[in-house]
Chain A
Amino acid sequence: MHMVTLTKGVPDFREGKVSFDEDGHLERGKTPTVMNPNDKIALRAALQTKVKHGGHVSLMSMGPPGYKEVLQEGMKDVYADDLFLLSDREMGAADTWATAMTIATGIEQLEQEPDIIFAGFKTADGETGHTGPQTNWCLDINDELTDRPLITHVISIDVDEDKGTVRAKRLVEGDLSEIETIEAELPAFIVTDPEFEATYRRAEHRLRYKDLREATRERAATLELDEDVTVWNQEALNLDPDFIGLDGSPTIVSGVDPIPKEPSEREATVIEPDDEEKMETVFDEMKQYASN
């Protein structure tokens, strides 16, 4: 089995990491870039497939050279056999469409055609959720012969190598109350839901998982970013400049409006705890909420 997982770097939105300026704009320079959390879930699905069926997990991203560290993070925290970065000035400022075009070309450039392509459910910054499905569409138009089934909102997968199929459970309305099971032929394109959970019910799988996790942590720790990440630029991918980067992006962002903070509906009265008289009124107010 050959699996490719797609990923993107996003600002680290965690408390204490992210930095906003006075107007509430994200300060990219001061905010560290990390691997999009949902993509780690997709990568876990790829790892689960490798644990159970063997094979090869590639991790691919498009972005500036700094994304090598994002790829390294995926290798360290989850798993990857090899890392690919599609990087060129020309590719900058791409919308989801141009990104999908570029990534689809990157996937086609791989030595081996992937049996499953995994993507995470939307990025923490863009939040469109388009890139995965669009990439699959681009792959299809480039290659008329394979029509990869696209399965989204996937919460568990089970590959049957003999039959050449994948059976996936997916959320229908985005919540756990309605789950459908789909069986599709390989190769396939799978977008994992944040609810995805890898399951290992056999001891041998958990042992192999442990081996692979240990190996990938070690490799990530000694990774030479310049040598061990394969970087493909526009020339290497032989991309038409009209279809990539800003020029290839039909999306027009007309403007960004900060969401104003909602004014507080409640009025607050400050009462000094030492002021006995006023405190009495507080207790009187609270009485109605007390039981008996």
Chain B
Amino acid sequence: MRDTHEHYEAVVVGNGPGGAAAAAALAKQDIETLVLERGTAAGSKNVSGGLIYGEEWAPYTMDDLFPGFREEAAERPIDDYYIHNIAGESVKTFDLHKIHHQGTEWCDAVLRRTMDSWLADRVHEMTRETGGGMLTDVRVNGLLREGGKIVGVTCDELDPITADVIIAADGVNSELARDAGLMDWEEPDDWFQGVKAVVDMDPERINQRFDIDPTTGSAHLFSGDLFDGVRGGGFLYTNEDSLSVGTVFHLDSIAEERAEPHELLDNLLTHPLLDQWFDGEYEEREYSAKLVPDSKKVAHPSPHRGRLLLVGDAAGQMQAQGPIIKGMNHAVTAGGLAAEAFQEAKTRGQPGAAGALYERKLESEGVMKRLRPRRYRMTRFISESRPINKLGNAVINSRVGAAGLKLFDGLIERSFNSPFVLGMIPDTKMTYVTIPERIGEVLGDPVTSENNVEPPGLDDRIGDLTYNVDDPHIEVRDESFDASGVAVTACPVSATDFGGGCYREETVQTNGETERKVSLDTQPCVECGTCAVVADTHWEHPSGGKGVEFKQG
């Protein structure tokens, strides 16, 4: 059989930032590279907030690998960076430009459909020269093994392909990482869930309302009591002619609180603080969602097995530095390092050593220490324990706490600007909700304007998306409410008492007893991955070109 398989030196799965970077770096070394992307166009499956960073320390950045990237594929460069601590209608704003610019060469807002499609064209040109190329509409559905060893990939649309190295840059819901036993979908607290709306806005208005000139942009973050106690926060970034407004929450918190993600997003969109930018106008272009790995917990220390190297979200390399989210830049760096590792291993005549070499490079280049800071590992146990949290809450909420906050107003802004402090931030309600809320309450000024915008309901949001419906790609294994009921609320396109979403609650009569069950219709699925973690499912991606198609991302 072997001889009849198509063979490439390198197969890269996924054309997000990680896959594109790996492919470009491989092609530069003249390594025959095939890139397989399941979207009908690169970017059509992808969602990010999206600020992409070019960091000074990084051995690979987007603009190095792809000259012209910032001018042609990105939206506005982001200079201003603020966080708003909210308590009801009282808001205290801190300027975070210091931490934002620290170690940063540049930072641009991006929309993924535009960005990834642009990258895909470059990637195709570069890899075609090596005898490979980039293909869309192809879903890799597993690893090809021979004698128990990984030798290639299998696809829905193509016959099996063998390769000397397989770079899985297939994102947060990587089926390859799971096939290889390197990642799992077990613990909700390993993940965040991101939900986003792209909102139409004329460029002139953006300049006016954000008080910026046409060649710059701003970023605003939001935390406090506007998210019903769910741990996480909101963001707003300016694009050329639209805004990206979204939320990122700990998935365990969404699950525990039985929160409806779309409602939390609406809480942000309708907060009076946002009226200064919307001014009563709201036209939503697209609603989207995706899981985000928390590198502090899941960044794999040894993300390879045999010929398979994991890159980016697939390896959990997504750094949440407090409110600052860095995933795309790390995916780029890891992609570059994976390519470099293979090239070196090949030169030494030991292509099989690429994985080990890649692992070493992630350490020596300083990627791992950013993804899994030791400080966090040390402080996590103490700060996330309940008694200490209780105590902290009591102090923060006391009069003494309030006096302290007032006294340390300047200091708080400074500590928000400290990467050292941000790296230690524990994942508790205190940090995400209580402290920001208390800051807003004690130090904040009331917002006086009214925000009258009415975001669309879930049915309209789903109705505005494009789907190429295929057979169901998710199967509920346990339909009992106990096992899978959380998905009814946690799925970003489902809601309690909403019949048009994916997950629904049903009561079934059996032998005179009523049973709570869930049913699933995958038609409106946005492929975020949430139910793979919070429900008992058999979860796969749809075939190439099928399922949801994001136009913005």
Contacts and interface: CB of A to CB of B under 8 A. Distances in A.
B159 A207 contact: no
Nearest to A211: B128
A210 interface: yes
Contact of B128 (A201, A202, A206, A207): A207
B159 A210 contact: no
A201 B133 contact: no
Interface in A161-215: 201-204, 206-207, 210-211
B132 A207 contact: yes
Contacts of B128: 207, 211
A75 B352 CA distance: 46
A210 B128 CA distance: 11
Contacts of B161: 203
A contact patch SS: helix
Interface in B1-32: 6, 8
A202 B159 contact: yes
Interface in A85-100: none
A206 B6 contact: no
B179 interface: no
A173 to B, nearest CB: 27
A195 to B, nearest CB: 19
Most buried by B among A201, A202, A203, A211: A203
Contacts of A211: 128
Contacts of A204: 6
Contacts of A206: 135, 138, 158
A206 B134 CA distance: 10
A201 B158 contact: yes
B135 A201 contact: no
Nearest to B135: A206
B37 to A, nearest CB: 12
B151 to A, nearest CB: 16
Contacts of B159: 201-202
A211 B132 CA distance: 12
B409 interface: no
A207 B133 CA distance: 7
B155 to A, nearest CB: 9
B158 A202 contact: yes
Contacts of B36: 203
B107 interface: no
B311 interface: no
A52 to B, nearest CB: 13
Nearest to A210: B133
A212 to B, nearest CB: 13
Contacts of B138: 203, 206
B64 interface: no
B169 interface: no
Contacts of A202: 6, 158-159
Interface in B121-139: 124, 128, 132-133, 135, 138
B272 to A, nearest CB: 40
Interface in B382-402: none
Contacts of B8: 203
23 contacts: A201-B157, A201-B158, A201-B159, A202-B6, A202-B158, A202-B159, A203-B6, A203-B8, A203-B34, A203-B36, A203-B133, A203-B135, A203-B158, A203-B161, A204-B6, A206-B158, A207-B128, A207-B132, A207-B133, A207-B135, A210-B124, A210-B133, A211-B128
Given A203-B34, A203-B161, 8 more contacts: A201-B158, A202-B159, A203-B8, A203-B138, A203-B158, A206-B158, A207-B132, A211-B128
